[in-house]
Structure 1
Amino acid sequence: EPGKYVEPTFSPDGKTVVYRKASGGSILNPTWSLEPGIYSVSAKGGNSTLITKSGYQPQFGAANDRIYVMSPWPKPTLSVVELESKQVRKLYESEHATEFRVSPDGQYLAFAERFKVFVTPFVERGKTINIGPKDSQFPIEQLSVRAGENISWSGTSDKLYWSLGPELYHASLAGLFDINQNAETDFKVKSGDNIGFTKTMAEPKSIFALTGARIITMNGEQVIENGVIVTDGKHIKAVGSKDSVAIPKGAEVIDVTGKTIMPGIVDAHAHGSQGSDEIIPQQNWKNLAGLALGVTTIHDPSNDTTEIFAASEMQKAGMIVAPRIFSTGTILYGANMPGYTSHIDSLEDAKFHLERLKKVGAFSVKSYNQPRREQRQQVIEAGRELEMMVVPEGGSLLQHNLTMVVDGHTGIEHSIPVANIYDDIRQLWSQSDVGYTPTLGVAYGGIWGENYWYDKTDVWNHPRLSKFVPKNQLLPRSMRRVKAPDHHYNHFNNARVAKELQDLGVLVNLGAHGQREGLAAHWEIWMFAQGGMTPLEAIRAATLDPAKYIGLDNNIGSLEPGKLADLIVIDGNPLTNIRDTDKIDYTMINGRLFDAATMNEVGEKKREKLYFEKI
């Protein structure tokens, strides 16, 4: 039976397998989410039995007749469930734990809290135990110096393992809770073993020559009429007029006369699921929709760390078709939420959190509502020392935003919540190197910009969007829509302010915020134009400037020899009609050319159908 099956575990005697059938998530077939819960089945096969409808991370201890499960709400808890009676009893609860792991012999409980690993004797009693690193009712030892997750035990319960990015750590429990233990003994593990591996980045062997098009290079204001682009593998080999570029022998020539070629769109503030319960789908319709609408690079400043970096590496290796994926991973949250709270009271605290995210693949972090200014400053300084970018959550407060500019964040994410700015803000911002990603689709100060496009256009009929987005995701939001007069839409003001800042030299960047797969990026471009940007300026805010903002402009953002072959072919001329940007015929990502109408790769076999295309 198709479904999302995760977290399998064997009973101590090897006769029973317990697993979780997961629900939720929009990127996989919704029928796979039916009848979720934790099930048991004989190791020899046969019918499964539902044990409990709630909980996750099922695990055995020393006994074969019971399992332990976690639940996240209202507090993280560990409960015991009797397999025969299905009776559930809560054993432990915590304020911030993200993992509980009972040792195979049932003697110890390991847990992770605020990204560190601890161990304590395991106790089952009638009253729920509130456990935490500073608990005094039971002995507790911190085992990790650096961050840790993915806790597991050795079969003999004498060693505990955890990981941080590519590093595997292990601690011996020998003598850990001996009654005559030396109080000065330090059980903390300071270093781990690198168990990472390398994978060759994907590179196609094909050579393409796209001929006859108008080419918006984004190399200054250069626009080439009747031009040619030659790609060789994943790089651009030549760009120029038709009479100045020699087409190599063996190149596949694609005649795109009368069309426009521009760099692929760089979405500096994207969101969207890349996995479901750590399952990375072989085809993610969100990614196909984005590519079909010309988005070739995304930077997601808030996503599940384990899922998005796995998807990023799979995209680089050519295992999935997707835009280039970059992310901060999980936010550095200032509020109180298990798995998110990043407590920062010093520069060392800030470096701890940035180091753990850098280990898993981040080159940027999202400083999200850290309540005190010096906390935000500590994150910025840690970023400077560790060579990482720091983007903050704007928070819709102007004074808050301005301190972020003064303190030197990489940029301000989300719009500043005012209709006008004056010389004080213009002078302040223009003398900084702080960028601006206003995410006009969710702009503050009035009705969100995305509502304008639902109001004024038939989004559900869009030829690309309706092809790659399942109806249950597209129709409810787009067919029944709010109507309002134009002057109620504040994004016009937000876009005008963005234009003013761009004129002063501030990097103003497209950020579609994941509002509507692929199409929302074009809404951002069109809204920039509504605010007064010329078509070329709006295209620059969608390509070269966000590439600069995230430090990738040496490789993407413009069409120049030696850069990566990320481009789109438009059936129209956005320099005369900016609304032509979404009329995409071809998308090229990393030198692979896709027919945007089908997302079949040119010269290759047809892709597998998405689940909703089979219905």
Structure 2
Amino acid sequence: LKAGNMVGPRVYSTGTILYGADGDFKAVINSLDDARSSLRRLKAVGAFSVKSYNQPRREQRQQIIEAARELQMEVVPEGGSNYFNNMTMILDGHTGIEHNPPVWPVYKDVKALWNATRVGYTPTLIVSYGTQFGENYWYDRTEVWKNDHLLSFTPPSVIDSRSRRRTTAEYGDYGHIDIAKSVKYIADGGTKINLGSHGQLQGLGAHWELWMLAQGGMTPMQALRCATMNGAAYLGMDKEIGSLETGKLADMVVLNENPLDDIRNSESIKYVMVNGRMYDTDSMNEIGNREKPRLRFWWQMTRGGDMINLPVNNTETHLFGVQEGD
């Protein structure tokens, strides 16, 4: 993407996680020097942040933080569905917490602690810890397999397998709504909330996360700020991205309807611009100064590599032909 060989969003990554559990890519952190070694290696290939992932002991996590401070890097830890670890992560000054603490409601002691720090919070309601995933609410309550815009860019077989035989539950059993209320409670004290959709469903998942923040009581403007300006500041990039201002990168979306009237209007995207290049979102054909139709995806091709002459928004689940027989 950065080299211009693919069309896509502006992507940032922490790189390989500093994994605390046993496995092929475990990061062994038993001293400050161990932490320095891991972080220097990542910084050498361009990382400005690291993902501290389930390091089991507090001093291990503290060693990563100390090494990051020396190297001027951010540390974004995996919440790990562990309330007590989450509280020490706040106390020790991580950049933020990724995923919600798995208990709710939270009370004024937790709120006061969190609000007294600059530790951010990315709740990822779409995979709510301590209850069923928030994404199940949207598979249950909406007909995802009929979303033409989503089907333009995702193989229908992928969408069908997730959405046609979906999990269902009573409204009151969706715990992500109560978690979202706790998120709003913490945000009201000044903690910056960021939107993260965990990669559950590319494209639509971020909208679900936005809508779930609103389910917890945020106004549309508050939820949109979590999705834009807060996230940019969290990454230390608010001078480049996050809002439409002179001197910032030309990344934006143009909507057909106003999300301030209804947060669900965030999905009504007409155009998207990345680095000053404009695309029609129904087709992802480039328009404006340099018009260029996009190539078709692999599931829109025949076995021989020829393009199937189908409208982009009218692909079928199975496109490869089979021989007729008994």
Q: How does 1:177-576 map to 2 (within 5 A)?
A: 315-338=1-24, 340-576=25-261
Report what 2:322 is aligned to: none
Report what 2:310 is aligned to: none
What percent of counterpart residues are identical?
55
Question: 1:135-185 CA deviation, whole Å, 9 max, x = no partner?
Answer: xxxxxxxxxxxxxxxxxxxxxxxxxxxxxxxxxxxxxxxxxxxxxxxxxxx
Q: Aligned partners of 1:589 and 1:495: how far apart in 2?
A: 30
Q: Is the 8 A contact 1:405 1:411 kept in 2?
A: yes
**Which of 281, 294, 312 is the matching residue for 1:607?**
294
Report what 2:311 is aligned to: none
Report what 1:160 is aligned to: none
Q: Which runs of 5+ in 2 are unaligned?
A: 302-318, 320-326
Q: Is the 8 A contact 1:439 1:512 kept in 2?
A: yes
- SS class of match (1:324): coil
Shift of the alpha carbon at 1:613?
2.0
Q: Aligned partners of 2:93 and 2:77: how far apart in 1?
A: 11
Q: What TM-score does the superposition give when structure 2 sets the normalisation length?
A: 0.90
| Higher Rg of the two aligned structures | 1
- SS class of match (2:181): helix
Q: Aligned partners of 2:177 and 2:210: how far apart in 1?
A: 12
Q: Cα RMSD between the aligned structures?
A: 0.9
- SS class of match (1:392): coil
Q: Aligned partners of 2:228 and 2:281: how far apart in 1?
A: 19
- SS class of match (2:27): coil
Q: Aligned partners of 1:399 and 1:493: how far apart in 2?
A: 20
Q: Aligned partners of 2:131 and 2:3: how far apart in 1?
A: 43
**Which of 253, 264, 267 is the matching residue for 1:582?**
267
Q: Aligned partners of 2:155 and 2:46: how far apart in 1?
A: 31
Q: Aligned partners of 1:577 and 1:371: how far apart in 2?
A: 43
How many matched pairs? 300
- SS class of match (1:336): coil
- SS class of match (2:190): coil
Q: Aligned partners of 1:468 and 1:496: how far apart in 2?
A: 33
Q: Is the 8 A contact 1:419 1:490 kept in 2?
A: no
Higher helix share: 2
Report what 1:164 is aligned to: none
Shift of the alpha carbon at 1:471?
1.7
- SS class of match (1:585): strand
Q: Aligned partners of 2:35 and 2:180: how far apart in 1?
A: 34
Shift of the alpha carbon at 1:505?
1.2
Give, as a single letter, the amino acid of the residue that structure 1 aligns with 2:292: K
Give, as a single letter, the amino acid of the residue that structure 1 aligns with 2:16: T
Q: Aligned partners of 1:316 and 1:352: how far apart in 2?
A: 27
Q: Aligned partners of 1:462 and 1:418: how far apart in 2?
A: 34
Question: 1:269-290 CA deviation, whole Å, 9 max, x = no partner?
Answer: xxxxxxxxxxxxxxxxxxxxxx
Higher strand share: 1
Give, as a single letter, the amino acid of the residue that structure 2 aligns with 1:579: R
Give, as a single letter, the amino acid of the residue that structure 2 aligns with 1:553: D
Q: Aligned partners of 1:370 and 1:557: how far apart in 2?
A: 31
Report what 2:307 is aligned to: none
Shift of the alpha carbon at 1:463?
2.0
Report what 1:8 is aligned to: none
Give, as a single letter, the amino acid of the residue that structure 2 aligns with 1:515: Q
Q: Aligned partners of 1:425 and 1:601: how far apart in 2?
A: 48
Q: Aligned partners of 2:268 and 2:236: how far apart in 1?
A: 28
Shift of the alpha carbon at 1:558?
0.6
Report what 1:268 is aligned to: none
Shift of the alpha carbon at 1:560?
0.7
Shift of the alpha carbon at 1:335?
1.2
Q: Is the 8 A contact 1:377 1:407 kept in 2?
A: yes
- SS class of match (1:569): strand
